[in-house]
Every structure is written in C-alpha cells, then in structure tokens.
Structure 1
C-alpha cells in the first residue's frame, strides 16, 4: 500500500482528499464510457467487414469487444495522464491466488443466486442484462460470450473499477470504504445495462454493487488485479454457459 492508504487506515481520512479521489474515479468512469461510445461503431464496422450481418450474434460480440477495449484504453490513459501508473498491481497469480480466483468466482455465483432468491422472496424482480438479448434466437452467441468474458469483459471492467477507481479511493479511504464506494460505482452503471422497470433496475444495481464489493475484496486481499479480473471473467463466463445450456 502507499503512504496515503496507510494514513487512511490509521484514521487520517481527510474530506478534501476523499472528494478529489472520488472525483478522479468518477471522471475515469465517464472517460471510459466516452471511449467506449467512440470505439463501438468502429468495432461494428470491423465486424461487418469480416462478414457479420446487422443484428447477428457476431456483430453483438464485436460491439462488446469494442466497448471493453474502450474501457481499458481510457483507464490506462487516465492513469498515465494522472501519473498514477503505480496503482496497477499486476502479476502472474501464485498458487494461492489461483485459489482465490476459483473461490471468488464460486462466491460470486452463490452470492448472486442468494440475492436473487432473497429479493424474489420479498416480491422484487431483477432487471435482465441487455447482454443476454442477442442470444434469444441464436444460442451460439452465449458460447462466444464465454470467451469474450474471460479475455475482455472481466479484465477491462476490473482495470477500470478496481485498478483505477478503487485504487484512487484507497489513497484517501480505509480499505472497506474504498471497496464499498468503488462497488457502488460499479453497480450504478448497471442501472442502464438492465431491461425492466425502475424498481427492477434498482434491484440490479444493488446486486451488481454487492458483487462489485466481493471483487474489490479480492483485490484488497491479494494485491493483484489479475485475481478479480479472472474471477469476474469466469463468473460471467459461467452465467453465459448456463444460458447456452438452458437454450
């Protein structure tokens, strides 16, 4: 950890520093969406050039890759511009950390279904992620997304929300608070990722926030961004595989 995070852990939280780090985190997320919006059409054009037709699963996959590349590029450029490249703690996972990857993916899956059951018990449904829609008439899409989740979605989203957002917040806040705020940022973007009523979308935000906190805890415990990136990708991949088998 940096000296700043050590000070935060010791109780030296300064509101001004928190505001600055939170602002940087929000700015990084905003920049990531701007970059994604710019790259998705380009990725779609590349997909069409390679033979993907409008509305096809292949084109949806290409657009997803474009979005995640935008996220990753914006995160890296933000860190370079801010001079915070040392925030990225990346290394090949040890055997212990590999166990955290597997265990983390399992915890994410169990936590999601437990949350869905709990919300269902009180009469609240959760919005469905728009990423599932292209597979409604073409189940092979789900198989494509298993690979894309591991190679692109998990790494890109963790780079942005744990590497950048949580890393910046960690310089001004103790670990639990930084994990929670970064988790909330991660959850909040899922409001527009789901289809349903406002209540269903809010429930989706809650679920995504809590799962984001699990990923943040993995990063905090291991100090290796590869761990939550792989756990996130594996978790998403299993969900897409389940959708394929169900279809």
Structure 2
C-alpha cells in the first residue's frame, strides 16, 4: 500500500480542497442531469415512450454517462490523470472483489437487522419504488449498475474526491469525508420522511466507508467499481425475486 501523505493545515488549502470536492460532485450531477434531459428530449422528438422499464433504465444510464463526462473534463483541465489509482485486475484483485462483495453484503444484512430491531423506519429509494411497480425494471437495471453506476460513482467519489482528500489530509480523514459526501449525495434519490432519510443516509455511509476502505486496501478503482456494481445487482435481483414472489418478502 502506498504510504499515507502527511496532512497539511494551511487554511487556503482547506478551502481549495472543499471547493474542489463540491465542484466535482455538483458538476457530476449537473452534467448528468443535462445529459439525461437531452436523452429524454431526443426520445420524445422521435416519438419513443420514456415510461417503459427499458427506457427508464436507459435514461438512468445517461446520468452516469454525464458523471463520466464531468470526470473527463475535470481530469483533462487539471491534467491529473495520474490521480486515479487503477490497473487491470490481477488474481489478487479478484480476491479483493470477492472478499469486498462478501463484506458489503454482510454489512448490509447486519445493519438492516439492527435497524429492524430498533424499529427505525428507513426511506425508500426511487429506483426500488419504480421497480416494485414493474419488476422487470430491476432486471434492466442490472447491466446499468454494472457498466455505468458502479464505475462512474466510484470514479467520482473514490477516484477523484477521496484521492484529493487523501493527498491533503491523509487516508483516515479521506475515507470518512468521502463516505459522508457519497452518502449525502444520495439524499435526493430517497423517498420518505426526514428521519427515514437520515437513517438511510447512515446506512449508505457505512456501505460507502467499506467501499472507501476497499479502495485504499486494494489501491485499484476497478476493484471497487466491480464490487459496487455487483452489490447493487445483488439488491436488484433480490428485489425482483421478492416482487415476483420467487422468495417471500420481509
């Protein structure tokens, strides 16, 4: 593992890094929304319905295409292509992928059990709500999350945000702050009361922290991108099985 950089404490640096984090995340969402809107407009001009499960999934992928465009523009402008730690997966990386997925699923099960025991109500995710209305949507979202959501979210939140924080403040603070930013960024995707959203954000923070640590341990963005995509797929397939009666719901 690479040695941890010494934290720096100059106030201008703090402001610059905070500004970078905000601009990268806000820029990713802004470009993502813009690309999605263009997609919706073109489909409607072509007379194609955007309400079918397939089109909804396709439009979801466009948001993450926007994430990729935003990341490309940022890295190109700053000429910081070397900031992202990635490589073609080795056999060791395959082990990290398998182990990371097991840990992530285990953490979700454990946190969900604790929340249930405490009687805490969590907010629903818009994707899950949409899929419950038409379960086939969950199946369409599997390739979307593997090829777009996982890689692009990890590129933004771990590859750029976490790495920028790590280079200034060190590994520990970078993991905590990047995970918090990752969790809060999901706020608008949640449906429910404020308390339910906060509980959901806490769960996402825990899962995000595991991904952040996995990135530090493996030093390979490809590993966390694959784990993220497979983990989301596990959730979508589980939701599909529940919605179609293949397995009993909770």
1:50 and 1:243 mapped to 2: Cα distance?
A: 32
Q: Deviations over 1:4-44 (max 9, x none)?
A: x5223xxx544442332222011100001110110112223
Q: Within the alignment, does 1:112 sit opposite 2:108 as a pair? A: yes
Partner of 2:6 in structure 1?
Answer: 7
Mark the CA change 1:69 to 1:17 in structure 2 (over 3 Å): closer, same or farther.
Answer: same
Q: Deviations over 1:104-125 (max 9, x none)?
A: 1221111112112212222211
Alignment of 1:141-152 (within 5 A): 141-152=137-148
Mark the CA change 1:212 to 1:42 in structure 2 (over 3 Å): closer, same or farther.
Answer: same
**Are the counterparts in 2 of residues 169 and 178 from structure 1 also a CA contact under 8 Å?**
yes
**Are the counterparts in 2 of residues 162 and 182 from structure 1 also a CA contact under 8 Å?**
yes
Alignment of 1:172-183 (within 5 A): 172-183=168-179
Alignment of 1:1-247 (within 5 A): 6-8=5-7, 12-45=8-41, 47=43, 52-247=48-243
**Are the counterparts in 2 of residues 75 and 160 from structure 1 also a CA contact under 8 Å?**
yes
SS at match of 1:93: coil
The alignment of Structure 1 onto Structure 2 pairs a total of residues equal to 243
SS at match of 1:136: helix
TM-score, structure 2 as length reference:
0.90
TM-score, structure 1 as length reference:
0.91
Mark the CA change 1:52 to 1:238 in structure 2 (over 3 Å): closer, same or farther.
Answer: farther
SS at match of 2:186: helix
Mark the CA change 1:47 to 1:231 in structure 2 (over 3 Å): closer, same or farther.
Answer: farther
| Runs of 4+ deviating beyond 3 Å | 12-16, 45-52
Once the two structures are overlaid, the 10-residue window that deviates more, 132-141 or 47-56, is: 47-56
Mark the CA change 1:151 to 1:50 in structure 2 (over 3 Å): closer, same or farther.
Answer: farther
**Are the counterparts in 2 of residues 35 and 71 from structure 1 also a CA contact under 8 Å?**
yes
- Listed as ranges, the gaps of 5+ residues in structure 2 are 244-250
1:216 and 1:15 mapped to 2: Cα distance?
A: 25
Mark the CA change 1:15 to 1:106 in structure 2 (over 3 Å): closer, same or farther.
Answer: farther
Q: Deviations over 1:54-76 (max 9, x none)?
A: 42111211221111111111112
